[in-house]
Amino acid sequence: MPIEILMPALSPTMEEGTLAKWLVKEGDSVQSGDVIAEIETDKATMEFEAVDEGVIGKILVADGSAEIAVNTPIAVLLEEGETAADMSTAAPQAPAEASPPAAAVEAAPVGSSDQAAAPAPQHTGERVFASPLARRIAAQKGLNLTQITGSGPRGRIVKADVEAATASPVAAAPAPQAATASASPAPATKPALSSGPSSDAVSRMYETREVTEIPLDGMRKTIAARLTEAKQSIPHFYLRRDIKLDALLAFRSQLNKQLAARNIKLSVNDFIIKACANALQQVPAANAVWAGDKILQLTPSDVAVAVAIEGGLFTPVLQDADQKSLSALSAEMKDLAARARDRKLAPHEYQGGSFAISNLGMMGIENFDAVINPPHGAILAVGAGVKKPVVNEDGALAVATVMSVTLSVDHRVIDGALGAELLQAIVDNLENPMMMLA
């Protein structure tokens, strides 16, 4: 029976996407694991791989189609021996089969794409839906396909399902009950967030003025939703400090001269990342995130850094940043930033972390307040280093390069004194940069 290829959920927050480009055409043969399309999610452009083997019988959604809901059929795959005539025979059954995934879509934001696309098994004496490869492996292993839960589109059994059943055949049978039980509770309804005047009301307000209407893409919708939620649901408070940078700038200049032969050039931002990562280890209670009914305290220092791109921003995460050298952090940050601007980051590269950095100093901004990116416990807003008159410890007046920073803190996770302790550790690391190498 022809297989419908569905729009996948390629990230936990993805509800719809844009089919940017097909990499196959009708009539092409594909194997499981072949890349068949490029799909733009709410954050990135990602490759989409075939789950089954067969021939592309029909492409249902054209290149460049936007706002395609997750689990919408985008193509039809023909199995061995099937022809285009089989597609018309199978077509009347599609509406009846479409209902189980529709319920699963609602759960997609809190689970994986596999969970969202895997309804309970449909084995009730009718034909078992399985890929040819899965059937061959099952036959070789002597497995009963009716006892295996499929994770493919429409509950279809694929190679991974059979291999998992091979490793643990007894555990495969109870899966339908578990899937039904987990799907039964209705999702909690979030209170509606106030978003100001309606779209029509705003349009009427400017109907006599010349305007250009810019449709919202997936990234802008996600930014709007998450940051509105953040400001309305997170109890922010703000801690501000001035940091003297002269020792760091001198140390950085010395290091860059020595690293020039290796074509390495450290930025001030590299030192800031390292300072924050070390501070999270020095004040471990502040290395935490809000998890609804609990607080999760992280052991590693996973630091996110905001990267501006056309039409939005990414916050790629540098994992285990406290354990990496300045040169390693610099190289990793350059790579993540470049791929962020090309929208080529994988979800695991911009999800997670407990702490974020937003640096607008290179744009001449001296100070600002950043919005916490949930579920992070805090974010550091970094301003420009500016020469200012200062009073030294001996009381003498001098000129120093001073950088203003603001720590935005989630009061549910970090209290005032703990936030102050974290910020003090960051200041100490930046004003005494050689400490970060110890």
Q: What is the pLDDT of residues 218-254, one digit of tens each?
A: 788 888 888 998 999 999 999 999 999 999 999 999 9
- pLDDT in the model for residue 91: 45
272 vs 7, higher pLDDT: 272
Other CB atoms within 10 A of residue 34 CB: 15
In the block, residue with structure tokens 């004496």:
125
In the block, residue with structure tokens 């009301």:
201
- pLDDT in the model for residue 15: 79
Is 90 exceeded by the pLDDT of residue 122? Answer: no
- Which of 112-126, 204-218, 232-246 is predicted least confidently? 112-126
Each residue of 151-206: pLDDT tens digit?
A: 766 577 777 777 777 544 444 444 444 444 444 444 445 445 455 788 889 999 99
- pLDDT in the model for residue 154: 58
Distance, CA of 368 to CA of 377 (rounded, Å): 18
Please name the residues in contact with 9: beta carbons below 8 A apart, sequence gap of 6 or more.
15, 70, 71, 105, 108, 112, 113, 116, 117
Is 50 exceeded by the pLDDT of residue 371? Answer: yes
- pLDDT in the model for residue 153: 60
pTM: 0.65
Q: Are 297 and 285 in contact (CB under 8 A)?
A: yes
| Sign of the alpha-carbon dihedral angle for 337, 343, 344, 348 | positive
Q: Is 123 a catalytic residue?
A: no
- Which of 6-15, 208-217, 362-371 is predicted least confidently? 6-15
Catalytic residue among 123, 236, 348, 411: 411
Q: What mean pLDDT do residues 122-127 have? A: 48
Distance, CA of 353 to CA of 290 (rounded, Å): 11
Other CB atoms within 10 A of residue 278 CB: 20
Q: What mean pLDDT do residues 31-58 have? A: 86
pLDDT band at 119 (very low <50, low <70, confident <90, very high): very low
